[in-house]
Structures are given as structure tokens and as C-alpha cells.
Structure 1
Amino acid sequence: MSLLIAIALSLLAGFAVPLQAGSNARLGVILGHPFWATVISLLVSGLAIALLMLIVKVPRPNLVALSAGPWWIWLGGVAGVFYITVALMVVPRLGALNFIMAVVVGQLMISLLMDYFGLLGLPRHPPSLQKILGVSVVLAGFIIASRG
């Protein structure tokens, strides 16, 4: 995959995040409780990935290897439920921009720690001055934007 395609797909994925948060927030209002919106969102996600897997003809998973994995491999599912539920509860209060900016700041901060300590099996990457400065600029942008 070329760098340009990778960047374009990343931008499209970024576009999807506030759309997901906004649509799930409305779904929570319609259903009467945020947890029901989380359930429906995850069911739709499951159906969408199942369809995609059928189209792409993904081979069966190695379930034996799954049982030998570290305990933290299950955190992705828990994080997904947490993110979806918080998003649909908070977006109506903060607005899409402030919510997404807070999410990005949180992502950058935990990413620095994950890289520094090599968490979750990732290789260690000590933070450079440029990376710390970049995160600081985004944090400052969030502070400026969220006060308005």
C-alpha cells in the first residue's frame, strides 16, 4: 500500500469517528438509553465486518493460538464499548469538535506512553522533542478551541 493511499484511508477513518459519535448519540436518544445504542452499534458493526469477511473470504481464525495470548488482548473490545458509550453520552453536551479533540489528545498521550514503555507488545520508541512538541501543540489547540 502506498503512503498516499495509507494517508487517504486514515483521513477517511478520521472522518468516520465524529460521524459514529453523532449517529450513536442520536441513536441513544431514540432508544431511550445510551447502553442500548452501544448494543445496536456493536451489532451493526458485527454484521458489517461479517459481511466484509465473507466478501473478502477471510480464512478461519486460529482459536488455539487465541488461548495462548496475553490477558490484555481482550482490552480492545472493552475499549470499544467504553468509547462508543462515552461518545454517545458526551457528544450532545460537548459537541462533536470538542469531543473529538479531547479524544485525539487522549490518544496522543496514551500513544506516547505506549511507545515509551513498549506496552501491549509494541516496540519501544522513546519520544523525541518533536513528538512532545507536536502533542503539546494539539493539547494547546484543544484548550483554545474548547473555551469558545
Structure 2
Amino acid sequence: MFTILLAISVGAIFAVQTAINAQLRKFVISPFLASMISFAVGVIFLTITILISGSPLGIPLDLFLSQPIFIWLGGIGGAIALTTNILLFPKLGSVQTSIMPILGMTLMSMLIDNYGWFNSIQYSFGLNRIFGVLLVLIGVFLAIAIQDKQNEQHTSQTNKKNMLNQWIWRIVGIMAGMLLAIQIAINGQLGKVLHSSSHAALVSFFVGTITLIIIVGIMDRSYTNIKEPIKQSAPWWIWIGGILGGSYVLINVYLVDQIGNGQTVILALFGQITGSLMVEQFGLLNSLKNRVKPIQIFGLIVMVAGVFLIRIF
């Protein structure tokens, strides 16, 4: 029972992290800088965690030479995906910012499994998986498309343009989810090579941080806005997105060992969707309050059922 509640909680943590990072962006302005701060905090958190556990931080040099280059670059995909989520949150709201990447993750993970990309174990398509994908697509339609259809009845030309922009952002969200699936596959292989999921997570966060430091230097050409949350007396919790991200990775490692990968994914997904519903329904963490409709909840349940078929069978 404890592991079930923990798995649901860790999914909710992911939804809360996105909301927190979106608020951090309001103070630092740049989504790239907000992502950089989150990743840097995650690196510090994971480093302290590994040191407390008594494990050495160092990685043998020969591993860098003997392993394919892609195995060290999972953090790049994570950095891009996290930045995308920060951009999506004010455009789509908490619920859609959760479910569009889930759709992308589901589709890409099936491709990775089917073709054995990134040295993953190969699992061919089956009827259960195909039916699962159809359920996920139906769930997305119920949660999004029907709501858009209702809005079309009283939309102006400007609002129709805004709806088109929303669909563009939704596609971006799907692509971000695909990057997350690639990151998970790469980090899974890195964990096997390093014989430590904690070290794999640290490498991923470190690479993501370096990537974002470079991106901020190119795009923003300044790091001075990092002081703005302090100057504006921002709430303390806007700094903990990286801690939640690091905790998400570490707890998932524990859960996979306890209840297996399939159950962990399903329960965490349920928690993520529940958390996003709560954030949007009640406007938590200073986010935009938006009443969730029953049809959306039903659509999300259908999505969970589809992912269950994909992950378990």
C-alpha cells in the first residue's frame, strides 16, 4: 500500500514541478534561465544525496572512451523538454501541459521498444499495444478536442487564431514528450553502464545544466535576472523545482525495484494527471484557475487505461 501511494505521489510531484518552474519564469523572464536554475538545483540535490549515501561521485575515465557518445547526452533532451513545459504551462494550462507530453512519450516509447533503439530491449507491436494507443488518442480527443468544439460555437476570428496557436503548442508538447521518452531510454542504459541509477540521474542533470548555461548565454546573453526572485521577494518554493525533479528520478528508481517498471509508470501517470487536475482546478501555486470539466476527467481516465495496456502487455 505504501509503494502505491508513493508512486501516485511522485507523479503528482512532476505536475507540481512544472507549475513551480512556470512561476519561476515570471520572475527571471526567460524560460531558458528558469530551466537552468531548476537543473542546477537538481544537480546540487543529487550530489548531496549521493554523498550522504556514501557512494563516490567519480566515474571511471575508461567508460567515457568505451561507450557510445549518445549514452551521455540524455540530459540535453531533458533540458529541452523541461524548457518546453515551462513555455507550455501559461499557453495550455496544467492539464494539457501534462497530457500532451504523455501522448508523445507513449508514441515514442512504443517506437523505441519496437525497434530496440538506444540499445533497449526490443518488444514488438501487439494488438493490446495498438488498442492501447487508440485509447490514448481517444482520451486526448475527449480531454481537448471536444472542449475546443464547444468553444467554437462562440468564437470570434481572433479566438479562432488563438485556437490554431494552441494546436501548434500542443504539437510542441507532443514533441517534448518524445524527447522525454528518448531521455528515459538513454538514462536507462547509462544506469546499467554505471551500475547506479543515482549516478545516471546526476550525469543527466549535469549535462542538462551545462546545455542550458550555453543556451542562456546565446539566447539571453545575460545571467543577471537570476537575482530577480530575491530582489522581488519571491516565495521560497519557486526554488525547489529542481529538488522535486531530482526526487522524482530517485523515487522512481526505488519503485521500479519494488513493484516493477509497468506498475510504476501507470501509478505515476495517474498521480501526474491527478496533480495537474488539482493545480488547474484550484489555481494552486499562483497558476491560472480553470474549472476542469467532467468530459476531461473521463478522457484522462481513458488515457490511463490506454497507457496501462501499452506498458503492461
| TM value normalised by structure 1 | 0.79
1:3 offset after TM fit, Å?
3.7
Cα distance in 2 for residues equivalent to 1:142 and 1:19: 17
| From 34, 39, 48, the counterpart of 2:202 | 39
Do residues 132 (structure 1) and 294 (structure 2) align?
Answer: no
1:99 offset after TM fit, Å?
5.8
How large is the RMSD of aligned CA atoms in angstroms?
A: 2.7
User: Quick one: which amino acid aligns to residue 115 of structure 1?
Assistant: E
Q: What's the counterpart of residue 27 of structure 1?
A: 190
Query: What 5-or-longer segments of structure 2 have no aligned partner?
Result: 1-163
1:25-60 alpha-carbon deviations (Å, 9 max, x no partner): 211121121111111111100111112112213433
Q: Give runs of ≥4 in structure 1 deviating > 4 Å.
A: 86-89, 98-103
TM alignment of 1:77-92, pairs within 5 A: 77-87=242-252, 90=256
1:122 offset after TM fit, Å?
0.8
Q: What's the counterpart of residue 66 of structure 1?
A: 229
1:100 offset after TM fit, Å?
5.2
Cα distance in 1 for residues equivalent to 2:250 and 2:221: 29
User: Quick one: which amino acid aligns to residue 302 of structure 2?
Assistant: V
Cα distance in 1 for residues equivalent to 2:181 and 2:282: 30
Contact 1:114 1:120 (C-alpha < 8 Å) held by counterparts: yes
Query: What 5-or-longer segments of structure 1 have no aligned partner?
Result: none
Contact 1:27 1:37 (C-alpha < 8 Å) held by counterparts: yes
Do residues 94 (structure 1) and 261 (structure 2) align?
Answer: yes
Identity fraction in percent:
26
User: Quick one: which amino acid aligns to residue 11 of structure 1?
Assistant: I
Q: What's the counterpart of residue 307 of structure 2?
A: 142
Q: What's the counterpart of residue 51 of structure 1?
A: 214
Higher normalized contact order (CA 8 Å, seq sep 6+, divided by chain length): 2
Q: What's the counterpart of residue 108 of structure 1?
A: 273
Contact 2:216 2:223 (C-alpha < 8 Å) held by counterparts: no
Contact 1:115 1:124 (C-alpha < 8 Å) held by counterparts: yes
| From 284, 287, 300, the counterpart of 1:122 | 287
Bigger Cα Rg: 2
Contact 1:18 1:100 (C-alpha < 8 Å) held by counterparts: no
Contact 1:109 1:135 (C-alpha < 8 Å) held by counterparts: no
Cα distance in 2 for residues equivalent to 1:64 and 1:123: 25
1:98-126 alpha-carbon deviations (Å, 9 max, x no partner): 76555443321101011122111112222
